[in-house]
Amino acid sequence: MVTDRYPELEKMLDAGARRIPWWRRPIKALHVTETDDRQTRRTVDAPWMGSHGLVVKPAARAVLEPLFGAAAQFVPVRGTPYPGLDYVHVHHLVNVLDEERSEIVYFTPGADILEITRHVFLPEIASAGPVFKLSRLPRGSIFLRDDVVEAILTSNLTGFAFEKVWSNVE
């Protein structure tokens, strides 16, 4: 597992929809080899960083990069014994959330989204692309089209987990 120790990740997340041409240095990370109860963690192709971003090894990058295309940027991660780790910065933001029909918890006061407990998407999701984030939640979860999920699952990569949050069949 790779976890951020410095503000580099915050800068990346704050970039939102922008590619980061000025990003020249790798993200600093801490290599975690044990669970909280001292069990050895198994090695995977995609050490989990959170639903907002992925950290991947070269084998996973080779699969994801052509699938994600220009919607994502691969930024080097340093500070682990594994060479070639990349943080996947998804900068393709789309406005496809149907806020009227979704179940959303908002921060109070204000209209900022705290959590989405049930997702409902607009028809425009059909043209959202293979990978995206919601424009109202640029620091939020990564969303993948079902064909991308299937390609990852059939690639034999390890460390990926998916949760279906919506179906257009109701």
pLDDT, tens digit (0-9, with 9 covering 90-100), for 80-104: 777 788 889 899 999 999 999 999 9
Rounded to whole angstroms, how far apart are CA atoms 71 and 154? 22
- pLDDT value, residue 144: 92
pLDDT of residue 34: 60
Question: 103 CB contacts (<8 Å, ≥6 apart)?
Answer: 116, 117, 118
- Which amino acid belongs to residue 99? E
pLDDT at 26: 47
pLDDT score of 19? 57
pLDDT tens-digit map of 35-66: 678 776 667 788 766 667 788 999 999 999 99
Q: Compare 108 and 81 and report the one with higher pLDDT.
A: 108
Q: Which stretch of 18-22, 32-36, 118-122 has the lowest confidence by average pLDDT?
A: 18-22
Q: Please give the model's pTM, rounded to 2 decimal places.
A: 0.75
Structure tokens at 65: 């990069």
